[in-house]
Amino acid sequence: MTGSRATLRAAMADGMVLAPFVYDGFTAMIAAGQGAQAVYMTGHGTSAQIGLPDVGLTSMAEMVANLGYIVNAVDVPVIADADTGYGNAINAQRTVHEYETAGAAAMHLEDQIFPKRCGFFEGKEVIPMEEHVQKIRAALDARSDPDLVIIARTDAVAPNGWEDAIRRAEAYRAAGADLVFVDGIKTLDDLDTYTTRLVEQDIPSLYNGQLQPVQEVASRGFKVMITGGGHALSYAAVRQALLDLKEGGGIGEPRDTERFNATTSLLGLPEIYELEKQYAVDNA
């Protein structure tokens, strides 16, 4: 929903927006169904569900396709991973066009070299700060809806340390990024540095992780927190169900009508039956 860009901005002005990790329409609907005020489309999860590791193999077109499904599936703002913008500043501009058309409320662009890798993997490298400043400027210029939230991410902590990461975050904010996102926060010390050096210096910031519960992250002054669930939990749950099936010699769980109905309701089946009546759809 493109109208949700204003909603997202209003919510950020009010306090911290919590956006759970989702990787497809179904998980987005589960999150929204449980009252999430926004959802976060993970690049790691989007890659995983098509069988790829998060090392820059998934194309922008594939990301946009998934984004479109998620946007259609929920009424809440969708914050989307846009990796490096899939190339240089020109590619970043097309990425902004495509994400905006698909209905993203917010998107983050990072300063890794292309092809990138997951923010928590070994061997990350970053492009020069000045080059990413230009990509952020290009992204801001490419918006046709000024409410689209452009988030500048830096991956510099792991390869270059905090001083470079802070310098970059400040420069990206000065270039006009709505939010900054320092990724790869692994310890509470890191989170404290992030808080005192950026968040408390009035730089609107996003936190990715689960080092602290939501309330404590909010009280630090972050504007957005992305956390929880996601494809790793789904994978663990599916794997567990498969192992249970092996152990049980092939017997599944009994048919759970309640869960079946909860699932189909979440997916909108009751509305379909209503529409069939409304438009006199004859099935026979």
Partner 1 sequence: MGQATRLRQLMEQGLVLAPGVYNALFAKAVESTGFDAVYVTGFGSAARYGYPDVGLITQTEMAQNLRYICRATNLPVVADADTGYGNIINVRRTVREYERAGVAGFHIEDQVFPKKCGFMEGKAVIPLEEHVQKVKAALDARTDPDTVIIARTDALAPNGWEDALARARAYREAGADLIFVDGIRTLEELDIYSKELALQGVPCLYNGGLVTAEEAQRKGFKIQILAGLALAAVFKSATAAMQELKASGTTRQTVAQFGPPGEGETVNDILGVPEVYELEQRYDVKKEGAR
Task: Compute the distance between CA of residue 57 and CA of residue 126 in angstroms, rounded to an integer.
Answer: 17
Task: Compute the distance between CA of residue 120 and CA of residue 43 in angstroms, rounded to an integer.
Answer: 13
Q: What is the CA radius of gyration of the chain?
A: 20
Q: Which of residues 75-134 bind partner 1 (CB under 8 A)?
A: 118, 121-123, 125
CB of 47 to partner 1, least distance (A): 8
Longest dimension (CA), the chain: 69
Of the listed pieces 6-14, 45-53, 91-99, 127-135, which binds partner 1 according to CB under 8 A?
45-53
Contacts of 82 (CB under 8 A, 6+ apart): 43, 60, 63, 95, 96, 99, 107, 108, 109
Instruction: Tell me which amino acid residue 89 is.
Output: A
Instruction: Tell me which amino acid residue 284 is.
Output: A
Of the listed pieces 79-87, 162-170, 180-188, 231-239, which binds partner 1 according to CB under 8 A?
231-239
The values of phi and psi at residue 19, to 5°, are -125, 105
Evaluate the CA torsion angle 216, 156, 228, 19 in order and state its sign.
Answer: positive
Give the nearer residue to partner 1 in terms of CB position, either 145 or 256: 256
User: Per-residue contact track with partner 1, 154 to 183, x per CB under 8 A?
Assistant: ------------------------------
Instruction: Tell me which amino acid residue 197 is.
Output: R
Cβ atoms of 68 and 60 within 8 Å: the answer is no
CB of 33 to partner 1, least distance (A): 8
Q: Is 35 exposed, middle or buried (0-12, 13-18, 19+ CB in 10 A)?
A: exposed
User: Per-residue contact track with partner 1, 15 to 34, x per CB under 8 A?
Assistant: ---x-x---xxxxxxxx-xx
**Given candidates 13, 14, 246, 278, which one binds partner 1 under the rule CB under 8 A?**
246
Task: Compute the distance between CA of residue 78 and CA of residue 103 in angstroms, rounded to an integer.
Answer: 8
Give the nearer residue to partner 1 in terms of CB position, either 141 or 276: 276
CB of 268 to partner 1, least distance (A): 5
Give the nearer residue to partner 1 in terms of CB position, either 9 or 231: 231
Give the nearer residue to partner 1 in terms of CB position, either 154 or 227: 227
**Given candidates 203, 269, 279, 280, which one binds partner 1 under the rule CB under 8 A?**
269
Give the nearer residue to partner 1 in terms of CB position, either 6 or 245: 245
CB of 210 to partner 1, least distance (A): 6
Residue matched to tokens 């709505």? 178
Q: Is residue 273 involved in binding partner 1 (CB under 8 A)?
A: yes
**Residues paired with 108 in a beta bridge:** 81, 151
Of the listed pieces 100-108, 141-149, 172-180, 271-279, which binds partner 1 according to CB under 8 A?
271-279
Tokens (6 digits) for 163: 């001083």
Size of the site for partner 1 (CB under 8 A): 78
The values of phi and psi at residue 267, to 5°, are -80, -5
Q: Is residue 279 involved in binding partner 1 (CB under 8 A)?
A: no
User: Per-residue contact track with partner 1, 209 to 228, x per CB under 8 A?
Assistant: -x--xxxx----------xx
